Structure 1
Amino acid sequence: MSIIDEKSIFIAMKQDGPFAVDDQILLEHPFSFQSRKWAKNFRQDKSTASKYRMVRDRIFDLLKIESFDEITDLLEDTERCEQLNPHAYSLLGNLFGVGGELPELKMHIREYMNTADAVITQLRSKVLAPYSSHIEISNEIEASKNPIELLLITFDNRYHKKIRFEAKRKLVLMGLAGSIDQRERETDIENKFSAFLNFLNQHVWSPQLKIGELEIAYLASHHAQSDFSCTEVQVLDAESVRNLPDLEENEKLTLIKRRLFQVNGKDIPVYVSVRKKDSAAKVLKLLRKNEKNPAVAVDDELGLMAVLDNENHVRRFVRHLTRAAVKAGSIMILEDVSDTLAGNLYGATAVGSSNQIQMLKFFARMGGMRVEFIIHTNQSYLNYRYQRGTSHDEYEVRRLFDSGVMEFLFPYEIYHLDMKQIRDKQILRFRKMIEQQG
Structure 2
Amino acid sequence: MSILTQHSVFTATLQNGPFAVLDDPPLPHPFSREAKAWVATIRHNQLLKTKYRAVRNQIFDLLGVNTFDEILALIHDKRLRANAAERAYLLLGNMFGLAGSTREVTRHLHEYARTADNVIRLLQSKVLAPYSAHIETTNEVVTAWDPVELLLMLFDERYHKKARFEAKRKLTLMALAGSIDQRERETDIAAKFLEFLEFLNAYVWSPDYKIGDLDIRYLHSVHDPRDFSCTAVQVLSEDEAGSVVLKPGEKLTLVKRRRFNDHGVDVPIYVTIRKKEPAAKVLKLLRKNEKNPASAVDDELGLMAVLNSVNDVKRFVRHLTRSAARAESFMTLEDISDTLTGGEYAGTATGSSGKTSMLKFFARTGGMRIEFILHTNRSYLNYIYQRDVAHDEYEVKRIFDTGVVEFLFPPDIYRLDLGKIRNHQLAWFRRCIEEG
Structure 2 matches for 1:169-208, cutoff 5 A? 169-208=169-208
User: Deviations 1:62-97 (Å, cap 9, x if unpaired)?
Assistant: 111112122122212121001111101111111111
Q: Which moved more, 1:278-287 or 1:71-80?
A: 71-80
Shift of 1:269: 0.3
Shift of 1:19: 2.4
Alpha carbons of 1:43 and 1:264: their partners in 2 closer, same or farther (altered >3 Å)? same
Structure 2 matches for 1:13-412, cutoff 5 A? 13-29=13-29, 37=37, 39-244=39-244, 246-412=245-411
Q: Distance in 2 between matches of 1:366 and 1:223?
A: 39
Shift of 1:375: 0.3
Q: Which moved more, 1:211-220 or 1:1-10?
A: 1-10
Other structure's SS at 2:20 match: coil
Q: Distance in 2 between matches of 1:31 and 1:286?
A: 38
Q: Which moved more, 1:288-297 or 1:413-422?
A: 413-422
Alpha carbons of 1:34 and 1:198: their partners in 2 closer, same or farther (altered >3 Å)? farther
Other structure's SS at 2:255 match: strand
Q: Structure 2 counterpart of 1:156, which letter?
A: D
Shift of 1:17: 2.6
Whether 1:427 and 2:432 are equivalent positions in the alignment is no
Other structure's SS at 1:323 match: helix
1:221–1:232 contact (8 Å) kept in structure 2: yes
2:119–2:282 contact (8 Å) kept in structure 1: yes
Shift of 1:6: 2.3
Other structure's SS at 1:342 match: coil
The aligned counterpart of 2:413 is 414
Q: Which moved more, 1:38-47 or 1:130-139?
A: 38-47
Shift of 1:44: 3.1
Shift of 1:20: 1.1
Alpha carbons of 1:171 and 1:220: their partners in 2 closer, same or farther (altered >3 Å)? same
Q: Structure 2 counterpart of 1:397, which letter?
A: V
Identify unmatched segments of 5+ residues in structure 2.
none
Shift of 1:16: 2.7
1:28–1:69 contact (8 Å) kept in structure 2: no
Q: Structure 1 counterpart of 2:191, which letter?
A: N
1:18–1:35 contact (8 Å) kept in structure 2: no
TM normalised by structure 2 equals: 0.98
Q: How many residues align?
A: 436
Q: Distance in 2 between matches of 1:392 and 1:29?
A: 51
Alpha carbons of 1:11 and 1:348: their partners in 2 closer, same or farther (altered >3 Å)? same
Identity %: 59
Q: Which moved more, 1:13-22 or 1:160-169?
A: 13-22
Q: Distance in 1 between matches of 2:350 and 2:274?
A: 22
Q: Distance in 1 between matches of 2:12 and 2:362?
A: 35
1:303–1:372 contact (8 Å) kept in structure 2: yes
Shift of 1:21: 0.8
Q: Structure 1 counterpart of 2:356, which letter?
A: I
Identify unmatched segments of 5+ residues in structure 1.
none
TM normalised by structure 1 equals: 0.97
Q: Structure 1 counterpart of 2:281, which letter?
A: K
Alpha carbons of 1:160 and 1:30: their partners in 2 closer, same or farther (altered >3 Å)? farther
What RMSD over aligned residues (CA atoms) do the two structures have, in Å? 1.5
Q: Structure 1 counterpart of 2:149, which letter?
A: E
